[in-house]
Amino acid sequence: MIAKLTGIIDSIENDGLIIDVNGVGYWVIMSNKSLTQLGDTGARATLWIEQVTRQEITQLCGFIEKTDRLCFRQLLNVQGVGVRVALAILSVLTPDELMLAISAQDKTMLTRADGVGPKLAGRIVLELKDRLSAPNLNIETTIALKSIPSHDALLGLVNLGYGRSEAHNALQLAVKEAPTTATSSDLLRLSLQKLAKF
């Protein structure tokens, strides 16, 4: 099984590239975002590889960062998400943004990717909510956001027109600063102050 490739970029196409490793060319599929981050033809590159075999077809999927590969693996575990859809998601969302969208149950953020409708976005959020958590979310904050005041504050922000991920992010910061006795109104006010600075 191939886990990593280091070589020279031979050619780049719309959905992948050929990387020359000691005279052997490997076709590697990548997200559009990752392809734009690579150098030009002739540049040296190191790719983390996820080898996917489905219906007797083996594909090499490449990633610049290990966190992208981790998210890709988790996305493939969701029913209805194949290689193309998983890479499409990682083309529009960074791992942190994906994890935040799942933590905040923000289906709209996921539907920005080609091939992801509301139904599939809902399934991704549901199936990955316990598997993926944003690196910047510590366990105390995650637990705090499940309290009634923070839940009410989150609903208040959403009702004011803020996206779930944006509101969730601001509320995290508010919870960290607020006293443990803070009411939903306190948290809403603090969150709005955070949103004004974004």
- 194 DSSP assignment: H
Identify whether residues 98 and 58 lie together within a single domain: no
Mean pLDDT of 25-39: 93
Identify whether residues 71 and 55 lie together within a single domain: no
pLDDT in tens, 118-128: 999 999 999 99
pLDDT in the model for residue 60: 97
CATH number at residue 99: 1.10.150.20
Identify whether residues 121 and 164 lie together within a single domain: no
Long-range Cβ pairs for the range 28-33 (8 Å, 24+): 28/60, 28/61, 28/62, 29/59, 29/60, 29/61, 29/62, 29/83, 29/87, 30/61, 30/62, 30/63, 30/87, 31/63, 31/68, 31/87, 31/88, 31/90, 31/91, 32/87, 32/91, 33/90, 33/91, 33/92
Residue type, 195: L
Strand 57-63 and strand 16-21: the pairing is unpaired
Identify whether residues 46 and 105 lie together within a single domain: no
Mean pLDDT of 48-55: 92
Identify whether residues 87 and 110 lie together within a single domain: yes
- What residue numbers bound the domain in which 29 lies? 1-64
Identify whether residues 73 and 116 lie together within a single domain: yes
pTM: 0.71
Mean pLDDT of 14-40: 94
Q: What string of DSSP letters covers 128-172?
A: HTTT---TT--HHHHHHTTSHHHHHHHHHHHHTT--HHHHHHHHH
CB proximity list for 138: less than 8 A, separation 6 or greater: none
Residue (of 33, 30, 50) closest to 91 by Cα position: 33
CATH number at residue 39: 2.40.50.140
Q: Is the pLDDT of residue 143 over 80?
A: no
Identify whether residues 59 and 73 lie together within a single domain: no
Identify whether residues 37 and 78 lie together within a single domain: no
Strand 4-12 and strand 24-29: the pairing is unpaired
pLDDT in tens, 2-26: 999 999 999 998 899 999 999 999 9
Number of domains forming the structure of the chain: 3
Structure tokens at 135: 């690196």
CATH number at residue 190: 1.10.8
Identify whether residues 80 and 49 lie together within a single domain: no
Instruction: Count Cα atoms within 13 angstroms, Cβ side, for 70.
Output: 13
Identify whether residues 170 and 188 lie together within a single domain: yes
Identify whether residues 39 and 78 lie together within a single domain: no
Identify whether residues 60 and 118 lie together within a single domain: no
